[in-house]
Structure 1
Amino acid sequence: MKNNIISFVLLQIAFSFTFLPETHQLSSSTNLNLVETTCKKTPFYNLCLSTLQSDPRSSKADVAGLAHIGADKVKARATATLRQITVLLKGAKDPKLKTALTECLDLYNTIIKYDIPVAIDAVVKGNPKFGVESAADAANEANDCERRFIKSPISGSNKAVHDLSSMVASIVQLLL
């Protein structure tokens, strides 16, 4: 009787390990499909796909998790842009350029310290309306920064923050 129980337990363990990789593969495949489906509902499909697939957290995330990942990427890109603005500001001689960079410094501080944290908090607390608004505000502030220049030295960065923020707003919109 004891041998039968041990044999049964060993058979169950072997059976579990036999199908475990397939189950994991199905889960990863399902999440890859969720990323693709979600990204198709954003204005920047390729950016969304590359952004989310580059983060290992996306393999286990739901839509709210994907929004959080996107918001983290916005914050990282906005922080890099803020550093870029600070460096440019230190070397700026032209008063119009200094003014534009100073105004952009304020806009990017708002994105980093207010907009993105509010968007993340809204998603976590289940109030996506504020998340959509905050992510859209971040996109608008990046555009506002760009408009401050006659010839912007940070066009690529402003576009990246705008597009990522718009992508996040679209993902959060799916939670409404």
Structure 2
Amino acid sequence: MKPLSKNNLLLSHLLFFTTLVLFLCTTLTHAYSYSIVTEEDIVTTTCKQTPDPKLCESALRSDPRSSTTKDNQGLILIMIDVVKNRFSESLGYVEDLTRKTHDPDMKRALSKCIRVYRVVVDTSVDLAVRAVKQGVPKFGEQAMTDAGNEAEACWMAFPEGKAPGRIVDRTPMLHGVSNVAASMIKALE
């Protein structure tokens, strides 16, 4: 066998090194893309079982914790936080409107909204979290169903055609995230 020249030896080492680098890059890329798909799959799979998969995915993916959550309970707790945040934002808006209005019918309706939104933020959310963590999902499901109903109760408190546009716009969203959370909790039963 004839010895390899310096150029051929260098070329064979370069070829070996390039092949090794390509192999490692391909392996690492495949492993990384598999973990991303797996993380996305739990959100997608969970949300497909809810009444509004698009709203569910949007809400969960907007929270960075959903990308590291590995189980349904973690996703449910994130969704309950979404419910709390959305109702808290609405509560702040309604409290601000109450300070600005002098119309007695409007004040009465806004006071009702403040009461029902506070029930959700202060009671329903905590009840749902405890129920999920303690393994009694039916109570958590009921708490989130009630939250959706409270959003409707706020809207209905206004005289015909007098509900502020933002409340009209937000009510379906509040009702929607509450129903999604309730259905996610129900899946634990």
Query: For this structure pair, what is the TM-score category when the shorter chain's length is used for normalisation?
Result: 0.7 to 0.9
User: CA 1:21–1:72 in 2, change beyond 3 Å: closer, same or farther?
Assistant: farther
- Distance in 2 (CA, whole Å) between partners of 1:159 and 1:65 is 25
1:72 Cα deviation (Å)?
0.6
1:26 lines up with 2:37 in the alignment: no
1:59 Cα deviation (Å)?
1.9
1:98 Cα deviation (Å)?
0.6
Identity among equivalent positions (%) equals: 38
User: RMSD across aligned C-alpha pairs, in angstroms?
Assistant: 2.0
- Distance in 2 (CA, whole Å) between partners of 1:110 and 1:127 is 20
- Partner residue in 2 for 1:86: 95
- Partner residue in 1 for 2:116: 107
- Distance in 1 (CA, whole Å) between partners of 2:42 and 2:92 is 34
Higher RCO structure, 1 or 2 (CA under 8 Å, sep 6+): 1
| 1:58 maps to which of 58, 66, 69 | 66
- Distance in 1 (CA, whole Å) between partners of 2:121 and 2:28 is 41
1:127 Cα deviation (Å)?
1.5
1:42 Cα deviation (Å)?
1.2
- Normalised by the length of structure 2, the TM-score is 0.79
Q: How many residues align?
A: 162
1:22 Cα deviation (Å)?
4.2
Residue ranges of structure 2 left out of the alignment (5+ in a row): 1-23
1:90 Cα deviation (Å)?
0.7
- Partner residue in 1 for 2:51: 43
- Distance in 2 (CA, whole Å) between partners of 1:23 and 1:142 is 44
User: CA 1:118–1:19 in 2, change beyond 3 Å: closer, same or farther?
Assistant: farther
1:171 lines up with 2:173 in the alignment: no
Residue ranges of structure 1 left out of the alignment (5+ in a row): 1-15
1:18 Cα deviation (Å)?
8.6
- Distance in 2 (CA, whole Å) between partners of 1:164 and 1:127 is 20
- Normalised by the length of structure 1, the TM-score is 0.84
| 1:136 maps to which of 136, 145, 151 | 145
